[in-house]
Amino acid sequence: MSHTGRFAPSPTGLLHFGSLLAATASYLEARSQQGRWLLRLEDLDKPRESKGASASIIQTLKAYGFEWDGDILFQSQRLTAYQDALHQLKTHTYRCTCSRKQLQEDAQANNTNLIYTGRCLTQAIPEHQPAAIRLKVPSQKLKFHDAILGDYEQDLQQAVGDFVLRRADGIFAYQLAVVVDDAWQGITHIVRGADLLNNTPRQLYLQQLLGFNHPHYAHIPMATNANGQKLSKQSYAPAITPDDSIRQLVHALQFLGQNPPPPEYFSHLNTLWDWAIQHWQLNRVPKLISRPSP
């Protein structure tokens, strides 16, 4: 199977330095192997979407010189596929009407970190009542080898509990959509931020149930701001701007352990990308977070 990678941002905010790292690393990993690189907008959670974010993400990626293969896939166009997958998983799922408050109380009572206790597993919930759909998970260690972070294992029952595949408001969960689309798009290599590392076992389990191949995974360390906080849309990481692309990309390459020459060395984005594709080595990406210089 030929190498296919992807970048899959959620349009909940503008592109920031953390997402630039994921885009850059996944792009270089694919291009340095003569692989394909696809762009997918994970735009399922319309209520959390920020207006114009999809267009702005696409525009910024273009301005930075990223070139994706084929058309952009929008998850909002793929609802039938998620519904089909949910149908296939039917014997492994059940409906759940727990309120957020109830879940929090259960978690507190059990001194756990929002691990679902299976409260609705044996409840008969009328079809007309809005309900989330949860997947029953096994008590069994799921293991995989991460190309950057090494071996990782997780017991789904202990770490997350039966997790949601479709919310009560009808929105399909990230876990289901990402697995269906990675398989459908033939993704063989996933490179993304380490904030998603502990989601991977859920995705491996779904792939197993749906009869999909497991992709290879590489999780890149999270960028931090000057206070040591992870850069995310939640912590209001500043958006990256198109006018500063060479400097930002050199900065990203530095962070990714690639020892790039200084920004002045590159007169054009093209020469920067040529250099980066030629010199890219995934095994140089550091395991530990080191703060890039501002």
With binding defined as CB under 5 A, does residue 96 bind Zn ion? yes
Nearest distance from C-beta of residue 110 to Zn ion, angstroms: 14
Contact at 8 Å (CB) between 135 and 173? no
The nearer residue to ligand GLU, 66 or 94, going by C-beta atoms, is: 66
Residues numbered 6-35 forming contacts with ligand GLU, rule: CB under 6 A: 8-10
Contact at 8 Å (CB) between 53 and 13? yes
Binding track, positions 187-206, relative to ligand GLU; x by CB under 6 A: -----x---x----------
The nearer residue to Zn ion, 72 or 125, going by C-beta atoms, is: 125
Burial class of 80 by CB neighbour count within 10 A (0 to 12, 13 to 18, 19+): exposed
Helix/strand/coil for 46: helix
Give the type of residue at 134.
Answer: R
Binding track, positions 170-189, relative to ligand GLU; x by CB under 6 A: --------x-----------
With binding defined as CB under 5 A, does residue 133 bind Zn ion? no
Q: Where are the beta strands (DSSP E) in the chain?
A: 4-7, 36-41, 73-74, 93-96, 132-135, 141-146, 150-155, 163-166, 189-193, 216-220
The nearer residue to ligand GLU, 95 or 233, going by C-beta atoms, is: 233
What phi, psi does 278 have (nearest 5°)?
-65, -35
134 binds, among Zn ion, ligand GLU, none (CB under 5 to 8 A by kind): none
Provide the 10 A C-beta neighbour count for residue 105.
12
Report the relative pairing of strands 73-74 and 93-96 from DSSP bridges: unpaired
The nearer residue to Zn ion, 98 or 253, going by C-beta atoms, is: 98
Nearest distance from C-beta of residue 120 to ligand GLU, angstroms: 27
The nearer residue to ligand GLU, 189 or 251, going by C-beta atoms, is: 189
96 binds, among ligand GLU, Zn ion, none (CB under 5 to 8 A by kind): Zn ion
Where along the sequence are the contacts to ligand GLU (CB under 6 A)?
A: 8-10, 42, 178, 192, 196
